[in-house]
Amino acid sequence: MHFADPDMCSQSGGHDVELFVETPDYDLICTICQGVFRCPVRAACHHIFCKKCILQWLKRCRQQTCPCCRKPVNQSLIFVMFKLSKVIGRLKIKCKNKIRGCPHTLALSEQYCHSMSCLFELIPCPYQGCRAQLLRRDLDAHARHCEHWSQPCHMGCGTVLSHRTQAKHNCYRQLRHEYEARQRNHRAIAAALQRKMRRMQSTMADMKRQIGLICESLEVMDELEEVEEEDLGETSGSFSSSNSSSTAES
């Protein structure tokens, strides 16, 4: 449909007369742009123009007058001519890619739809980084050689392949490499853990030894204290007897 075409009303100026298979009727030509009406609108004086053409005309001219009859034109009294628009939409045109080889003729209203599938439409290569512009027809052939072509392996191994790596890619080998790499990694982790454990064990042995030494020295001190206490007890009990015992010891 004509009104589904996104560029129909945004573009200024009418449709190029050369585009049409048969020379369009003089009644369908906009006097401002000399093209076939695009979004035709009628002013109060009954003259018809492309919507964009008349709005631009009114913006540019100080007097708001019709370019055909010089009668005043009120911008709010301009009406879109839907029926005429549909009639124009049914006119046959040549594909705009005719110079590139497209043989199709189509209704003007189908122009946008056709450009989405026309094999002679110029399209940028879809692969990121590629600057090539190609006819849609040549896209597949280009993709087979495009340096920027890339795709994940269709076997699902997750490797993103380019044309260069695809030929050498072997899913089984790839998976085995990954498996081996993971195993190497696990072995390295296990070895590191073992080393750590051995270090901890030796530290613990050291600590045990030191605690043993501390205990021994504490026991020695206890014994010494006991001896001192015994000495003190005896001295406090009877001065003369301790005196005699100390003399006996020495």
Applying CB under 5 A, the residues found at the interface with Zn ion are 8-9, 14, 30, 32-33, 39, 45, 47, 50, 53, 66, 68-69, 95, 97, 102, 104, 118, 125, 127, 130, 132, 146, 153, 155, 157, 171
For Zn ion, the closer CB: 44 or 189: 44
How far apart CA 147 and CA 106 sit, in angstroms, is 36
Within its chain, how far is the Cα of 201 from the centroid?
Answer: 51
Q: How far apart are CA 83 and CA 171, in angstroms?
A: 61
Token pair 């005043």 is found at: 72
CB of 210 to Zn ion, least distance (A): 58
CB of 67 to Zn ion, least distance (A): 8
Closer Cβ to Zn ion, 173 or 186, answer by number: 173
Asked if 85 and 41 count as a contact pair (C-beta separation under 8 A), the reply is no
Report how far Cα 126 is from the mean position of its chain's Cα atoms.
Answer: 14
Please, which residue, 23 or 247, has the CB nearer to Zn ion?
Answer: 23
Q: Which is nearer to Zn ion, 122 or 191 (CB)?
A: 122
Residues in the chain: 250
- Cα atoms found within 13 Å of the Cα of residue 230, Cβ hemisphere only: 8
